Structure 1
Amino acid sequence: MSNHFHSQKEVENYLSTTVAELLSQLTPEQKPLWGKMTPQHMVEHLIVVYKLSMGRFSVPVVSKEEDWPKLKEYLMKDSPMRRNVPSPNGKSELQPLRFADLEEAKQKFFAETETFLKFCEAQPEFIANHPYGGPLTAQEWLFCHKKHIKHHLIQFELIPDYE
């Protein structure tokens, strides 16, 4: 069953170890299976989502409050995400790149992963809004990050699609 809920430890290991191993294989030339992000845009996007989950900035919630419970359940589950979902801010163009190159972006991403994992350990009940799922605790964001990162690993063919 691919959509069971993993233990927190498994998810932490996945984010700190497996993702690093997979992203080390990502090259600037790789093309996405869908969407228009470059590898560097994708890695920088993942950094931004980590920052969002730690309350470094916030975004408006675009979903209705009565839908939060089922959206949250979907976000916690290790299952495929819909593809080509427009950005919740309604902008379809790529964001400007912040780092010099893909390598630098990867290093920042690995550092941000460790920052988030420490944050989650220190403040598991910290709440930050998810643009679709509404208020999530840091612990809930942990599961959400795994699902979201896997989605982008599939996008760049670093892992096979969900069976």
Structure 2
Amino acid sequence: MKSIFNTKDNQEIIARIHKLTPESQAVWGKMNVDQMFKHTNEALIVAFGENTVKVNFFMRLLGRMLKNKVFNSEFKRNSPTAKEFIFTDNYDFETSKKELVKNFSRFAEGHQSIKITDHPFWGKMNYEDWNKLMWNHVDHHLRQFRV
């Protein structure tokens, strides 16, 4: 599997992000491209301890039970999303894209970029877990927009 921590692999994702334009259309789902940038950025900065998600007991239990299955397979289309990651406003395309690129690039600094080892939904997270989650999530949304 490719790695968010590997500079070459990390740049591969960033190159795909740069292929998107304000006119890029999703093949599935309700988000436009700037909402997708905002969504993926807010999800990935959880790893840096810069975004918190409140999860009730039942959802924490569910996340821990599903973790291995979800992390070791391709993300499904139209999967449920935590309310903290749903964005319905419109955002400046260039600003939201730059923010996502800047934050995704941080993973290439290595494992020290990760500040959270206990995800509010998924539970205990090691570096490989973060790699799988972040790679699969961003890749999923880039495929959503055909890049």
TM-score bin, normalised by smaller chain? 0.7 to 0.9
| Other-structure match for 2:117 | 127
How far the C-alpha of 1:102 sits from its partner, in A, is: 1.6
Secondary structure of 2:124's aligned partner = strand
- The correspondence for 2:129, drawn from 140, 143, 149, is 140
Greater relative contact order (Cα 8 A, min sep 6): structure 1 or 2? Answer: 2
| Other-structure match for 1:103 | 94
| Other-structure match for 1:76 | 71
The one-character-per-residue Cα deviations of 1:11-54 (angstroms, maximum 9, x if unpaired) are: 6532x211111111111112211111111111111110121122
* TM-score, scaled relative to structure 1: 0.72
Secondary structure of 2:119's aligned partner = strand
Q: Does 1:94 align with 2:94?
A: no
Over the matched positions of the two proteins, sequence identity in percent amounts to 22
| Other-structure match for 2:103 | 112
How far the C-alpha of 1:114 sits from its partner, in A, is: 2.2
Q: Is the 8 A contact 1:40 1:102 kept in 2?
A: yes
* TM-score, scaled relative to structure 2: 0.78
Taking the aligned partners of 1:9 and 1:103, their CA distance within structure 2 comes to 22
How far the C-alpha of 1:142 sits from its partner, in A, is: 1.9
Taking the aligned partners of 1:146 and 1:82, their CA distance within structure 2 comes to 14
One-letter amino acid of the counterpart of residue 112, structure 2:
A
User: After the TM superposition, which of the residue ranges 101-110 and 29-38 deviates more from structure 2?
Assistant: 101-110
What does 1:1-163 align with in structure 2 at a 5 Å threshold?
6=1, 8=3, 13-14=8-9, 16-61=10-55, 62-64=59-61, 68=64, 71-77=66-72, 79-89=73-83, 94-97=87-90, 101-118=92-109, 120-122=110-112, 126-131=116-121, 133-158=122-147
Which is helix-richer, 1 or 2? 2
Change beyond 3 A, Cα 1:64–1:114: same
* Cα-Cα RMSD: 2.9
Q: Which runs of 5+ in 2 are unaligned?
A: none
How far the C-alpha of 1:112 sits from its partner, in A, is: 0.5
- The number of residues matched between the two structures is 144
Taking the aligned partners of 1:156 and 1:141, their CA distance within structure 2 comes to 23
